[in-house]
Chain A
Amino acid sequence: MTELLKVEGLTVEYALNGHYVKAVDDVSLTVNKGDALGIVGESGCGKSSLALAIMGILPDNARIASGIVQFEGEDLLKMPQSRQRRDIRWKRISMIFQSSMNALNPVYRVGSTLTSVAEFKRKVSRNEAAEIVERLYRLVGMDPSRMKNFPHQYSGGMRQRAVIAMSLICEPPLIIADEPTTALDVVVQNQILKTLRKLREDLGMAIILISHDVGVIGETCERVAVMYGGKLFETGSAKQLFSKPNNPYTRALLGCFPDLENPKRKLNGIPGEPPDLTMIPPGCRFAPRCAYAKEICRTQAPPIYELEAGHKSLCHFAKELSQ
C-alpha cells in the first residue's frame, strides 16, 4: 500500500475567551509514499495548526474537535501519547521549522543537540550517534567540524540545514516542513530547496511543505492544497493548479506572485483582510474579498466540486470558472 497519511475531516479548535475558534475546519488530504504535498496559504490560515495536529503536539489550549489522522494504517488521534512518543514521533514523522534564531536550543552546541536526538531515538551509543550526525551533516552539505558550534554561530542557511539534518536522523518516511525557507534570502532559499529535492530523490521520503510562498511550493511539490481561513479551497496537482487554477482564491494568490514568464504583469495584492475566525460569516469565507462573489456566496457555504480526477475546488461556481 502506498498510502502513508490520510487526514479526513480534521477540525482543530482553540479555546479563546470562553468559546472555540476553528483554526482547521474539516480538512481532508492524502499523502502517499514519496509524495511531495504543498500546503499554501496566507499567515494565520491554519497551516501550522494542521501540522501540529498531525504530529500530535498541539498546545493545551487547542483540541481536535473531529476527524481522523490515519498514518500507516493507524489512527494517530486514538493512539496513546506514550506510543506516539516512542514509535511515531521523529521515527516515522519528523518536522522542520522555520530557521529562526531559536529553532535550535541556544545553550547547547548544535552537534550535541543532534547527537542527543540520535542517541535517544535510535538507541545507539554516543559515538555511533556522532557518526550518524556527521554523515547527515555531509548529506545536507555542511562541514561536520561545525558540530561543535552554537546555533548563534551559524548563518540562517546553516541553521536550516542543521534542522533538516536533525529531521533525517531516523530516516522517517514523512517529513513536515513548516515554512522552511521563509527567513532566508532568495539565494539561500534556492540552495535549501535544491538540497531538499536531492534528499527526496536519494532517500525517497514523503514531504508536506507548508509555505505562504507560492513559488517555493511550485518548485518542490507535485500536489498542492490551498488553504484559507482553516478550509482547503482547492486541491490538485501542481500542474493543474498552476496552469488552470480554478478557485478564485487560488487565482488571486497566484496573481500576487511574480511570474517569471510574464514579468511585466501587474502584481495584484488581494484586497481586504483574512477572516476573523471568531466571527465566521455564513457562506463562503472568501466572499468578502472575492472578485467573482455573488449573492449565494454570502449566504450559503460552497460545496466541493471535483473538476477532474484529483482536482477539487471549494466554490459555488467552480464549474463555470473552469470554462
Chain B
Amino acid sequence: MPRTEALEPETRPAGFLPSLSDAVRRLVHFRLGLAGFVIILFFGILAIGAPYIAPYGENQQSYNILQPPSAQHLLGTDSIGRDTLSRIIYGSQVSMEFGFGVALLSLVLGIILGAFPGYFGGLIDDLFSRFFDTVLMIPAFFLIILAVALFGSNIQTSMLIVALTSWPSNARITRAQVLTLKTRAYVQASTVTGAGHLRILFKHILPNGISPVIANSALQMANAVLIEASLSFLGLSDPNHVSWGTIIFGAVENFNAWWLSMAGVTLMILTLGFNFAADGVSYLLTPRLEVAKG
C-alpha cells in the first residue's frame, strides 16, 4: 500500500495565515513527534520484555472462556480462555518485528537502488526511474496476499514481500536527494581531490541526504504494521505467534466479546506513533519562518 511518499516540506506560505503565533504550530508538531518516539519506545520495551511483563502466557488456555474484563483478566479472555491483555502484549513482538524489519530492508534496497542511478545518471537513471514507477504500480496488497498464500505464512516471507513492494518510494527520495547534492560544492571538491565514486557517495552525499528517507521509513513502518495486522486478521499469518490482527478476528467471530477489539486500539496507537514520529522528523528537517505579530 504505497502512500504519498515524502511529506511535503513546509516553507514560507504566501499569505492567508492568521496572525496567531506560529509557536503553537511548532509546538504541536514537535510534541507530536516526541509523543511518537515515546510510543515507539514503549512498544519496543513491551515487545522485548513481553515474557516478563505479561501476566499470563501467550497461548495459555484456561476455563474462563469469553470473560469480560475483570480484576484477574484486565482485558477479558477469548474463546479458549486466553488472557487478552497478555496476548496483546505478546502481539507487540510481531508488530514491531514486522515494522522494523520491513522498513530496514526497504531502506537498504531503496538507498542502494536509488543512489546509484541518481549519481551516475544517464541511461541507468532513466531505466531505473521507469523501474520504480512500474513496481509502484503493482497492486501490492494483492501480491502480498497471493505470495503469502502460495509460499506459506511465515513472517519472514511476508516481510520480504512487503519490503520488495515498498522500496521504490525510498529509492525515489534517495535519487532526488543524490541529484541535488551531487552538484553541491563540497562534493565537487572531493571529486577534485580524487576521491572514488563510492567514497563520495557514501561518505559525503548520503549522510547529508538521508533525513527525508528516514521520515519515509517511519511512514513505511506504520504501513507495515497495518499490513501485518491485516494479514493476520485474514488468517494469513504465522499461527504460532499471536498478532493483534488475530485477536481482532476473534472479535468478529465472537461478536459480543467487544473487549477483543481493544487490540485495535493498540494497533492504532502504534501506527499513530510511527506516523507522528514521521511527521515530527520531517517537520524538524525543514526550516520555517514564523507568523509575525501585529
Do the two chains touch directly in the complex (Cβ atoms below 8 Å apart)?
A: yes
Q: Min CB distance, A177 to chain B, in Å?
A: 19
On whether the beta carbons of A16 and B14 are closer than 8 Å, the reply is no
On whether the beta carbons of B290 and A17 are closer than 8 Å, the reply is yes
Complex Cα–Cα for A62 and B17 (A): 11
Interface string of B1-41 (1 = CB under 8 A from A): 00000000000111111110010000000000000000000
On whether the beta carbons of B17 and A60 are closer than 8 Å, the reply is yes
On whether the beta carbons of B289 and A16 are closer than 8 Å, the reply is yes
The residue in chain A whose Cβ has the minimal distance to the Cβ of B16 is: A60
On whether the beta carbons of A20 and B292 are closer than 8 Å, the reply is yes
Complex Cα–Cα for A17 and B290 (A): 6
On whether the beta carbons of B290 and A15 are closer than 8 Å, the reply is yes
Complex Cα–Cα for A15 and B186 (A): 31
On whether the beta carbons of A63 and B292 are closer than 8 Å, the reply is yes
The residue in chain B whose Cβ has the minimal distance to the Cβ of A16 is: B289
Is B291 located at the chain interface by the 8 A CB criterion? Answer: yes
State which size class the interface on A falls in: 10 to 19
Is A271 located at the chain interface by the 8 A CB criterion? Answer: no
Is B122 located at the chain interface by the 8 A CB criterion? Answer: no
Question: Which residues of A12-49 are within 8 A (CB) of B?
Answer: 13-18, 20
On whether the beta carbons of A61 and B294 are closer than 8 Å, the reply is no
On whether the beta carbons of B15 and A15 are closer than 8 Å, the reply is no
Q: Min CB distance, B16 to chain A, in Å?
A: 7
Is A272 located at the chain interface by the 8 A CB criterion? Answer: no
Is A57 located at the chain interface by the 8 A CB criterion? Answer: yes
On whether the beta carbons of A60 and B15 are closer than 8 Å, the reply is yes
Q: Min CB distance, A19 to chain B, in Å?
A: 9
Question: Which residues of A66-98 are within 8 A (CB) of B?
Answer: none
Question: Which residues of B199-258 are within 8 A (CB) of A?
Answer: none
On whether the beta carbons of B290 and A59 are closer than 8 Å, the reply is no
On whether the beta carbons of B292 and A62 are closer than 8 Å, the reply is yes
The residue in chain B whose Cβ has the minimal distance to the Cβ of A57 is: B15
The residue in chain A whose Cβ has the minimal distance to the Cβ of B23 is: A18
Complex interface: chain B residues within 8 A of A62 (CB):
292
Complex Cα–Cα for A217 and B171 (A): 47
Complex interface: chain B residues within 8 A of A14 (CB):
289, 292
A59-B294 contact in complex given A14-B289, A15-B289, A16-B289, C-beta closer than 8 Å: no
Question: Which residues of B272-294 are within 8 A (CB) of A?
Answer: 289-294
Question: Which residues of B44-87 are within 8 A (CB) of A?
Answer: none
Complex interface: chain A residues within 8 A of B292 (CB):
13-15, 20, 60-63
Cross-chain contact of A59 among B14, B18, B22, B293 (Cβ < 8 A): B14
Complex interface: chain B residues within 8 A of A60 (CB):
13, 15-19, 291-292
Q: Min CB distance, A21 to chain B, in Å?
A: 9
Q: Min CB distance, B291 to chain A, in Å?
A: 5
Q: Min CB distance, B290 to chain A, in Å?
A: 4
Complex Cα–Cα for A18 and B290 (A): 7
Interface hub of B13, B290, B292, B293 (most chain A Cβ within 10 A): B292
Complex Cα–Cα for A106 and B292 (A): 31
Complex interface: chain B residues within 8 A of A20 (CB):
292
Complex Cα–Cα for A63 and B292 (A): 6
Complex Cα–Cα for A59 and B291 (A): 9
Q: Min CB distance, B25 to chain A, in Å?
A: 12
Complex Cα–Cα for A239 and B22 (A): 47
Complex Cα–Cα for A20 and B293 (A): 10
Interface hub of B12, B17, B19, B294 (most chain A Cβ within 10 A): B12
Complex interface: chain A residues within 8 A of B293 (CB):
15, 63
Complex interface: chain B residues within 8 A of A16 (CB):
289-290
Interface hub of B16, B289, B291 (most chain A Cβ within 10 A): B289
Q: Min CB distance, A49 to chain B, in Å?
A: 12
Q: Min CB distance, B171 to chain A, in Å?
A: 29
Complex Cα–Cα for A34 and B14 (A): 31
Complex Cα–Cα for A17 and B13 (A): 15
Q: Min CB distance, A203 to chain B, in Å?
A: 30
Complex Cα–Cα for A51 and B16 (A): 19
Complex Cα–Cα for A61 and B18 (A): 10
Closest 7 CB pairs of A and B: A60-B17, A15-B292, A15-B290, A63-B292, A61-B289, A59-B14, A61-B292
26 contacts between A and B (CB under 8 A): A14-B289, A15-B22, A15-B289, A15-B290, A15-B293, A16-B289, A16-B290, A18-B290, A20-B292, A59-B13, A59-B14, A60-B13, A60-B15, A60-B17, A60-B19, A60-B291, A61-B12, A61-B17, A61-B22, A61-B289, A61-B291, A61-B292, A62-B292, A63-B292, A63-B293, A63-B294
A residues engaging B (CB < 8 A)?
Answer: 13-18, 20, 57, 59-63
Additional A-B contact list (9), CB under 8 Å, known A15-B293, A60-B16, A60-B18: A15-B290, A15-B291, A57-B15, A59-B15, A59-B17, A60-B13, A60-B15, A61-B22, A61-B292
